[in-house]
Each structure stands twice: as C-alpha cells, then as structure tokens.
Amino acid sequence: MFLAWRARRIITYAGYILGFPGDTPERIAHDIKTVQQELPVDLLEFFILTPLPGSADHQALHKNGVWMDPDMNKYDLEHVTTGHKVMTSGDWQEVYRRAWDLYYSAEHIETIFRRAKAAGIKPVRLLNHILQFYFTFLQENVHPLQGGYFRRKLRRQRRASLPRETPLVFYFRRIRQVLETHVKLAAFYLYLHRIRRRVERDPSPYTDTALAPVDRREWLPVNPRREKATTGAAA
C-alpha cells in the first residue's frame, strides 16, 4: 500500500501505539528499527495506549479495579494514565519520548529524503513535515498535532490556584521564549537543509529493502493487534 501511494508521489504517515501488554522498551526499539528498514512510510507519529473514557479498555480496567489517573488533562495520548504489566510508568513515559528520537535520527532522516528522491518526491516537502513533526515535540514537548511554530499564550488564562502575573513579568518571559524557540527552529531547519542538500547533490540511484516490489501473492492479513486499538483504546 505504501509503495502504491509512493508511486503517485504522495507523502505517507502512520501512527504507532506504545504500551500493549507485551511491549518492552527493547521490543519497541526493535519494532521501530523494523519499520525504518522494511516500510517505506515517510512520517511516523507515536501515541501512548490510553484507556479513553467510554472505550472498552476503560470499562474493563474500571471493572477490574485497575488504577487509572484521575487527572483527565493527561488523557491526551501523550501521558501514561494506567499501569503496565512489564514497564513501570517511568519506563513507559521514557520510551515514548525516546521513540521520537529513534525514528527521526539523522541517519533515518537521510533515508527518508533518499526514498523521496527515488520516487520523484521533492525532499524539501519532507523537510517541512519533519520540521513540524519532530521539532514541535523536541521544543514544546507536545504531540505535533497539538503544536505549531508559534505557541499562543494569554496572560489572563491561568490556573485558578495560581496568581496572575504582572504584564512586565509575563511579556518579558514570553518574548524571551518566542525568540529562543525560533532561534532553535532556524538551527534545526539548517540541520535538515544540510542533509537534504547532500541527498539532492548525490547523483547515484538509491534503493533499499523497503522500496523493493512486493509480490501480492505473499501478502499477509493485517495484524488486528494494533488496528483494533486505534478504534477502541487510543484513538
């Protein structure tokens, strides 16, 4: 399927859910490496398996008396909100953070650009998407779907338990934050730009395992393990 979209010069992205019962940090790292090597997907986003209120998983955990975080602000698919049979909450949260770094390594970003070039997709299109996806997570520590290049904050919007800051304190810090963010944004863009230019200047043809034609007779049924979760547990 990914090859079919690539043949039409369409950028693809997929979601990966972390925290199934058999998941461990080592297994997740291995799976990400497998995706990098065997699937020609361009962008990958990560989610923490979350028992969203109203889902079958949430009801089952509630009936079994399993702990779930009472703070509903954390049910954003980015925070651990229940226990895991193998990983501690700290391990689970850390592997989520580390998953982004593993997939968007410098080596794999170059691979993404090379695959795009081989398919006739301009690497600069991928550069802009990677900039948005990975930098948003690195800088703002939020999922790319919740972020952007400019984070709007209002002085009057503050938790009721916290005092409202004076304009001088609030705006001075906010200006400093905006400048710091965009300096880092420019630096990260130049980092991606150098990789892109290196790929574009390389005249040699490129191929790898993920780009190899697939014999349709060898297709296997979709593994329902992660597909089911996207409709019931986490999304």
pLDDT band at 202, cuts 50/70/90?
very high
Same domain? For 86 and 180 the reply is no
Same domain? For 26 and 49 the reply is yes
Same domain? For 152 and 73 the reply is no
Tokens read off for 100: 């982004």
Q: Which domain, by its residues, includes 175?
A: 122-202
Residue 149 domain flag = yes
Residue 115 domain flag = no
pLDDT band at 214, cuts 50/70/90?
confident
Closest CA to 114 of 13, 10, 204, 44: 204
pLDDT of 208 above 90: yes
pLDDT of 227 above 60: no
CA distances from 221 to 4, 218, 225, 227 (A): 17, 10, 12, 12
Same domain? For 192 and 211 the reply is no
Mean pLDDT (the chain, rounded): 90
Same domain? For 96 and 212 the reply is yes
Same domain? For 139 and 156 the reply is yes
Strands 43-48 and 13-18, how do they pair?
parallel
Residue 33 domain flag = yes
Same domain? For 85 and 169 the reply is no
Same domain? For 3 and 91 the reply is yes
What predicted TM-score, i.e. pTM, was given to this entire model? 0.85
Mean pLDDT of 79-100: 95
Residue 110 domain flag = no
- Look at the chain and report how many structural domains it folds into: 2
Residue 18 domain flag = yes
Same domain? For 191 and 75 the reply is no
Residue 27 domain flag = yes
Same domain? For 131 and 75 the reply is no
H or E segment and range at residue 48: strand 43-48
Same domain? For 133 and 84 the reply is no
- Residues 24-50 have pLDDT tens digits of 999 999 999 999 999 999 999 999 999
Residue 187 domain flag = yes
Q: What type of residue sits at position 44?
A: L
Residue 109 domain flag = no
Same domain? For 198 and 211 the reply is no
